[in-house]
């Protein structure tokens, strides 16, 4: 396992785990294996024991999308059902995509929680959830006709 130089232990003590589903900030006491986003998919899967324990992914750079790919792989191919934590160089604009890729939490500074909540509130719901029944589809369809 590759531990980042700027590990969570070396970061600001005001940080906590922000829940991407309930928009709550929790204490940063969660201890879990932390994988670097650049690790190979097969290498990470070999560390998993399917116990449902939390797994973390460290993002080295803001523009590095490998952590999103790794999260999807852990959720879909490796069938990881436990909490999936994002840590490192992330911004509130990525909140919805983190959630859609399978992350359950992201480590943030406590004073940034409002920005993350706002970013998640702006994210549109998945289309499948908007048009769930026939009546809703007909109502929305007729509103757009001239």
**88 has pLDDT over 70:** yes
20 CB-near residues (< 8 Å, 6+ apart):
95, 98, 99, 103, 104, 105, 106, 120
Which whole number is the average pLDDT over 64-84? 89
Specify the number of domains making up the chain. Answer: 1
Residue 58 in any domain: the answer is yes
Residue 3 in any domain: the answer is no
Residue 101 in any domain: the answer is yes
Better pLDDT: 34 or 90: 90
Token couple for 127: 């289309």
Residue 93 in any domain: the answer is yes
- CA atoms of 32 and 55, how far apart (whole Å): 6
Residue 60 in any domain: the answer is yes
Residue 131 in any domain: the answer is yes
pLDDT tens for each residue of 41-51: 778 877 777 67
**144 has pLDDT over 50:** no
pLDDT tens for each residue of 17-38: 889 888 888 886 667 888 888 8
pTM over 0.85: no
3-class state of residue 55 by DSSP: strand
- Cα–Cα distances (Å) from 125 to 40, 97, 108, 128, in that order, read 31, 12, 23, 8
**72 has pLDDT over 80:** yes
Residue 1 in any domain: the answer is no
The parent domain of residue 130 ranges over 8-143
Residue 92 in any domain: the answer is yes
């Amino acid at each position: 396992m590759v531990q980042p130089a700027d590990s969570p232990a070396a970061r600001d003590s005001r940080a906590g785990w922000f829940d991407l589903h309930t928009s709550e900030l929790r204490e940063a006491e969660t201890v879990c294996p932390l994988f670097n986003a650049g690790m190979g998919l097969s290498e990470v899967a070999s560390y998993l024991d399917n116990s449902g324990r939390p797994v973390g992914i460290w993002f080295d750079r803001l523009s590095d999308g490998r952590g999103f790919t790794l999260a999807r792989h852990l959720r879909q191919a490796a069938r990881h059902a436990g909490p999936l934590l994002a840590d490192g160089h992330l911004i509130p604009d990525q909140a919805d995509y983190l959630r859609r890729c399978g992350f359950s939490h992201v480590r943030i500074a406590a004073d940034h929680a409002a920005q993350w909540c706002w970013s998640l509130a702006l994210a549109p719901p998945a289309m499948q959830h908007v048009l769930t029944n026939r009546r809703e589809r007909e109502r929305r369809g007729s509103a757009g006709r001239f």
